Structure 1
Amino acid sequence: MADRISSDHSSLTTVRATLVRSGGLDRPKVEIPADAADSFPDGELVRIVADDTEYRARIESPLTGDGREIRGLYESPTLARNPEDGENHLSAWVADANVEFDQSVLVDVIEPGFKYGLREPGERAFYEATESPDESLADIAQGLDE
């Protein structure tokens, strides 16, 4: 059985991000501040745990500024690459969470560039301790997925 760590564990870094509206349909997105961007590699697909469910998301650079953003949570890497083909669970998380637009959300850095946690301020979360695969295995998996 994999080890579980809590969001207040000393090995985790927590980043205070902002939930904002995106586009004409007011879709939610999480804006990561520029001073934390090094922990969120641009263009990478990552795992994000929200409410005990693990999703996939693409970390992106905003059109303006130096931070990063998360525009959606999806059930698979394929859906994260092609968001129009699947349900964006970020909207459901926002609807169930006690956060509103322009308020803070917390992003726990479980494994930089690989796995993160998303939670409401003041809430405690537990995560499976998962290490990122070695680079050669990740390259093979990405080649198969393409």
Structure 2
Amino acid sequence: MADRVASDHESITTVRATLARRGSTSRPAIELPDEQSSSSPDSASSRRDADAFPAGEVVRLVVDGSERHAKIEEYAGDRSIPGAYDAPSMARDPDSASNRLVEWADDKGLELGQSVLVDVIEEGFKYGVREPGERVFYDATEAPDDSLASIAQQLEDN
């Protein structure tokens, strides 16, 4: 894989998601589509594959050019990304952390109900979020193998 890859590169899968209210708050969350789609937003292929968005996992999420961390959550079968945080531990326990997704939506002037694009850079590991029509570049990062990931998780938990 190249050092940097564009959001419209053939290796990137893009899904159209919705910026939606999370619970009783007015903070936005990214609601992922709940069924497969053959449409093609931004000339990139679009699909909804549950394996591409592993519920309960903390993943990397590129927001406005900065790599953050997010936990993919599942409510009644629907998957969402409720926030983007500076560290994996903050994504797991976000109560007192700054939600960079809220800051991004505010800076871009995005409103609830508006579409956003989620790029699958490395399935189950790294994603990007952007406005429809926006072309961005991502640093290519491969997921660590399972043994390295579990060691990192243990170190972070201690």
Give yes or no for TM over 0.5.
Answer: yes
CA contact (8 A) 2:29 2:80 kept: yes
Q: Within 5 Å, give how 1:1-146 maps onto structure 2.
A: 3-35=3-35, 36=48, 37-62=50-75, 64=76, 66-146=77-157
* Separation in structure 1 between the aligned mates of residue 111 and residue 27 of structure 2, nearest angstrom: 12
Unaligned ranges ≥5, structure 1: none
The code of the aligned residue for 1:100 comes to E
Shift of residue 23 of structure 1?
2.6
Comparing 38-47 with 92-101, which one deviates more in the overlay?
Answer: 92-101
- Please list every run of at least 4 consecutive aligned residues from structure 1 whose deviation after the TM superposition is greater than 6 angstroms: none
Asked whether the 8 Å contact 2:60–2:127 carries over to 1, the reply is yes
| Kept in 1: contact 2:15–2:118 (CA 8 A) | yes
Percentage of identical aligned residues: 57
Counterpart Cα distance in 2 of 1:97 and 1:121: 12
State the Cα distance separating 1:38 from its structure 2 match. Answer: 2.4
Q: What whole-Å deviation, never above 9, does each CA across 1:79-111 have from its counterpart, x for those lacking one?
A: 111101311111100001243211110000000
Between Structure 1 and Structure 2, the one with more strand by share is 1
Gaps of 5+ in 2: 36-47
Q: TM-score, normalised by structure 2?
A: 0.86
Task: Indicate if the aligned counterparts of 2:85 and 2:91 stay in contact, CA closer than 8 A.
Answer: yes
Count of residues in correspondence between the two structures: 143
TM-score (norm 1): 0.93
Matched residue SS, 1:132: coil
Moved more, 44-53 or 32-41: 32-41
Q: Which amino acid aligns with 2:155?
A: L
CA distance in 1, matches of 2:92, 2:57: 10
8 Å Cα contact 1:18/1:102 also seen in 2: yes
Q: Measure the CA separation in 2 of the matches of 1:136 and 1:92.
A: 34
Q: Distance in 1 between matches of 2:109 and 2:8?
A: 20
